[in-house]
Amino acid sequence: MSHKSSEDPKPPPKPALHFASSDLPHIAPYLPSAVVATSSVKPFVTITFATSLDSSLSLAPGTQTALSGPETKAMTHYLRSQHEAILVGVGTAVADNPALNCRIEGVGLEEQPRPVIVDPSGRWLVEEDGKLAECVRLAEHGIGKGPWVLTTLQEDEINHDSRRTLERCGGQYICFPCVPKGSQNQLQWRDIIDTLGRLGVKSAMIEGGGTVINTLLEDRNLNLIDSVIITIAPVWLGEGGVLINPPRRTDEKAQPIPVARLDQVKWKQFGDDVVLCGKIKR
């Protein structure tokens, strides 16, 4: 198989997905479009992911686990059509090689969300073993937008070919000020969301993986989150999975207290899964 992008045949279309309009009232109040336009430049942020009953995203780090059924898959793609950007962490980008586009029927390139990959130390490869990353390949064929890669690499640290390939499909590297090496969470969520806002992104859907969600659910980041839309599948994955289990919060007496509670809560069954919509309780 040839992997040079110029010789890469247009990928055969994956089946289009259909999200039943009868299911729309359930999620409509939690979508960016439900918000009356404000002068705020902060993008509307939806946090969304699917877990098992034991709060795992997958069976093990670096693996992809099929959790949710076709009904919630269609809903996720519908959500993508309602946001201007989809953000994932580098772990998910490397493990899943995700398409990060929207497969709802009739969605044109203009309505496709912008893939955003948070990759502080430059682990994600635009091309590996001569094969383009799936979201780059789709962008080259006009089936998705070119991905933005958020990194603390500096301009001169970025591979020239990678940059050229990314820019050719409409993507770009966005370099953040360097932070001390070895520090955790090298990119701060507030900086990421501010940057997306400055680049004109009005709504972003944050899809995972574990590090992304767990750090976003830290106390200091909760006010960045506008909506929460979670799928839970009726399965236990067991010990060793990638847990959503945010850092502990304590009160002034150092006693543990809940990290966050939702209000304006709606649960609805889709197939065998449940979808929870809510807002962070302030």
Nearest-approach distance from CB 65 to its own copies, in angstroms: 8
Q: List alpha helices for 51-111, DSSP H.
A: 70-81, 90-96
Cα dihedral 256/244/241/248 (nearest 10): -20
Bond into 209 cis (ω within 30):
yes
Nearer to its own copies, 200 or 247 (CB): 247
d(CA 75, CA 221): 26
Nearest-approach distance from CB 208 to its own copies, in angstroms: 14
Which residue, among 141, 96, 131, 140, has the nearest Cα to 117 in the 3D structure?
96
d(CA 237, CA 68): 13
Which residue, among 125, 100, 94, has the nearest Cα to 115 in the 3D structure?
100
Nearer to its own copies, 28 or 265 (CB): 265
Tokens coding 201: 């992104």
Nearest-approach distance from CB 245 to its own copies, in angstroms: 5
Nearest-approach distance from CB 260 to its own copies, in angstroms: 5
Nearer to its own copies, 142 or 247 (CB): 247
Nearest-approach distance from CB 217 to its own copies, in angstroms: 6
One-letter amino acid of 197: G
Nearer to its own copies, 6 or 22 (CB): 22
Nearer to its own copies, 52 or 112 (CB): 52
Nearest-approach distance from CB 63 to its own copies, in angstroms: 8
Nearer to its own copies, 55 or 159 (CB): 55
One-letter amino acid of 160: H
Residues that bind its own copies (CB under 8 A): 51-56, 59-60, 65, 217, 230, 232, 234-241, 243-249, 256-263, 265-269, 272, 274, 276, 278
Which residue, among 34, 90, 103, has the nearest Cα to 215 in the 3D structure?
90
For residue 249, report the phi and psi dihedrals to the nearest 5 degrees: -115, 145
